[in-house]
């Protein structure tokens, strides 16, 4: 689907790079312009053919229709209001971060708020940087659009088309607060579990050789997210700290409950807990 849009991308790593690949392949973007901030990643993205060319932000703003910001979330809250100040009235900006309330707060009184659409394409891998960009990363996955009523209807329609026609994603809608609660439960806590498991095993198992000899596919699957970027994830944990604390407390309590059941020899009761956990399979299979 051709939309003839010129798309600018600020932050061309795993997510930004994969979006560029997808939008060019589907023809949704006439051109994908990387925003040059002199970071080595951006030159690399150009070499890898993820983008058509690099331009400084002020020059890019003369030619782009849609700006995608795919930088770490801390950066975003600072940068986005300033960038929006420079927009002309037909331009649209989206960001693709994993937390939504801080950016909601940062923009809620901005005069150009309607030109912003808050989105979260739910896809990724444990790798980062432009080399990690993958063709087809988003296909068939879900993208959340937050607070749609705060965006201009035409701008929102364009962004729906970007995700549906350009990247072949399925859309769901919720407000920023719900988004951050739900992603804490589903996505952010999984990263905590995995990082902590890796730290635990590395700490306990001083003889590294045994780790790589005995690690089975089960361990590899559970610990996979521990390879994720610390820089990206501490910012997400920070921004979503309150929700994450709730679910982390619940997780620690569940582990303490397991421990109590084992120490008291209540294995039948533990079995009931594990059988309840099995239900996650039924729910995931509905997808």
Q: Does 77 bind its own copies (CB under 8 A)?
A: no
Least Å from the CB of residue 163 to its own copies: 15
Q: Is 1 in the site for its own copies (CB under 8 A)?
A: no
Output Rg (C-alpha) for the chain, integer angstroms: 21
Q: Report the nearest approach of its own copies to the CB of residue 56 (Å).
A: 30
47 binds its own copies (CB under 8 A): no
CB of 25 to its own copies, least distance (A): 21
Q: Does 206 bind its own copies (CB under 8 A)?
A: no
Q: Which stretch binds its own copies (CB under 8 A): 4-12, 64-72, 153-161, 207-215?
A: 207-215
Q: Comparing C-alpha atoms, which of 69, 123, 122 is closest to residue 92? A: 69
Closer by beta carbon to its own copies, 47 or else 213: 213
Binding test (CB under 8 A) with its own copies, winner from 39, 43, 142, 168: 142
Total residues binding its own copies (CB under 8 A)? 92
Cβ distance 83 to 67 under 8 Å? yes
Does 139 engage in binding with its own copies (CB under 8 A)? Answer: no
**Is 117 near its own copies (CB under 8 A)?**
no
At 130, list the tokens: 């432009």
Residue 124 lies near its own copies (rule: CB under 8 A) = yes
Residue 87 engages its own copies in binding (rule: CB under 8 A): no
In the bound state with its own copies, the residue whose beta carbon lies nearer, of 86 and 199, is: 199
Near its own copies by CB under 8 A: residue from 1, 225, 260, 264: 225
| Residue 126 engages its own copies in binding (rule: CB under 8 A) | yes
User: For residues 76 and 78, what is the distance between their CA atoms, to the nearest angstrom?
Assistant: 5
245 binds its own copies (CB under 8 A): yes
- Is residue 123 a contact point for its own copies (CB under 8 A)? yes
Q: Which stretch binds its own copies (CB under 8 A): 29-37, 78-86, 105-113, 197-205?
A: 197-205
Binding range to its own copies, per CB under 8 A, among 32-40, 59-67, 105-113, 260-268: 260-268
């Amino acid at each position: 689907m051709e939309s003839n849009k010129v798309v600018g991308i600020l932050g061309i790593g795993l997510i930004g790079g994969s979006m560029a690949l997808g939008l060019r392949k589907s023809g949704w973007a006439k051109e994908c312009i990387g925003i040059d901030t002199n970071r080595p990643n951006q030159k690399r993205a150009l070499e890898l053919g993820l983008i058509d060319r690099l331009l400084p932000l002020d020059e890019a703003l003369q030619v782009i229709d849609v700006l995608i910001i795919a930088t770490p979330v801390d950066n975003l809250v600072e940068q986005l209001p300033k960038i929006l100040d420079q927009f002309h009235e037909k331009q649209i900006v989206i960001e693709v971060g994993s937390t939504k309330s801080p950016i909601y707060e940062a923009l809620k009184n901005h005069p150009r708020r309607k030109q912003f659409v808050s989105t979260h394409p739910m896809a990724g891998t444990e790798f980062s940087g432009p080399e990690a960009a993958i063709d087809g990363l988003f296909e068939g996955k879900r993208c959340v659009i937050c607070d749609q009523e705060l965006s201009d209807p035409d701008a929102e329609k364009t962004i729906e088309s970007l995700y549906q026609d350009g990247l072949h994603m399925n859309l769901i809608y919720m407000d920023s607060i719900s988004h951050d609660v739900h992603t804490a439960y589903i996505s952010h806590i999984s990263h905590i579990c995995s990082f902590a498991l890796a730290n635990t095993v590395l700490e306990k198992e001083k003889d590294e050789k045994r780790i790589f000899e005995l690690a089975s596919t089960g361990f590899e699957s559970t610990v996979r997210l521990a390879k994720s970027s610390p820089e990206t994830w501490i910012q997400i944990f920070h921004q979503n700290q309150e929700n994450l604390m709730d679910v982390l407390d619940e997780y620690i309590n569940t582990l303490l409950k397991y421990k109590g059941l084992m120490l008291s020899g209540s294995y039948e009761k533990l079995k009931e807990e594990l059988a309840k956990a099995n239900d996650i399979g039924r729910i995931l299979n509905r997808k």
